């Protein structure tokens, strides 16, 4: 799957290396990265590696973490996507620039991926990991029908596990 997923105000498309500077502006912000991975990415080389990994995952699996693009301006405002995990599940995630929070963007992006997972990719179940205080992210998942299913450790921190059967 390569064609953009188009929502009301955003579209999702595979990353290219040209997106590294825009992605780094997002991934280097400590507020954005408070509950993401190992925290803010300091050097642009770190973001370059992440984007290369997303592109490689896309080539291998036909899906992955994609750029979230504001349709009105064409600006890359974050990521949203699916990743195949080491234990064979498919995990959804999203990370948006702070200026775009609270405008329904994550709900749109996550909804587009849930639809694509079910209708285009034939995926039967999605997982998402969220830290308990990350209420915005939990609300995105709960609105889509994800349900709590225990806890796990990721990036050395406790996360709630959410699952959705498609």
Decide: is 47 part of the binding site for ligand COA (CB under 6 A): no
Which structure tokens are listed for 30? 């400590």
User: How many CA atoms, within 13 angstroms, populate the side-chain half-sphere of residue 122?
Assistant: 2
**Site map 87..126 versus ligand COA, x via CB under 6 A:** -------xxx----xxxxxxx-------------------
CA neighbor of 6 nearest in space, from 108, 117, 80, 87? 108
Determine the size of the site formed for ligand COA (CB under 6 A): 21
Which one of residues 38, 42, 125, 139 is an interface residue with ligand COA (CB under 6 A)?
139
Tokens of 65: 């973490």
Contact, 3 vs 11, CB < 8 A?
A: no
Kindly tell me which of 62 and 102 has the beta carbon lying closer to ligand COA.
102
- Report the interface residues with ligand COA, using CB under 6 A: 32, 35-36, 94-96, 101-107, 130, 134-137, 139-140, 143
């Amino acid at each position: 799957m390569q064609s953009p997923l188009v929502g009301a105000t955003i579209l999702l498309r595979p990353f290219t290396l040209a997106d590294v500077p825009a992605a780094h502006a997002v991934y280097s912000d400590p507020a954005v990265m408070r509950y993401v991975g190992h925290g803010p990415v300091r050097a642009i080389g770190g973001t370059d590696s992440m984007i290369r990994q997303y592109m490689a995952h896309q080539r291998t699996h036909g899906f992955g973490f994609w750029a979230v693009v504001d349709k009105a301006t064409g600006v890359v405002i974050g990521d949203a996507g699916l990743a195949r995990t080491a234990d064979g599940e498919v995990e959804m995630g999203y990370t948006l620039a702070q200026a775009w929070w609270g405008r329904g963007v994550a709900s749109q992006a996550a909804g587009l991926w849930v639809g694509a997972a079910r209708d285009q990719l034939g995926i039967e179940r999605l997982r998402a990991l969220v830290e308990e205080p990350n209420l915005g992210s939990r609300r995105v998942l709960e609105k889509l029908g994800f349900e709590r299913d225990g806890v796990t450790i990721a990036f050395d921190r406790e996360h709630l596990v959410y699952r959705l059967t498609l």
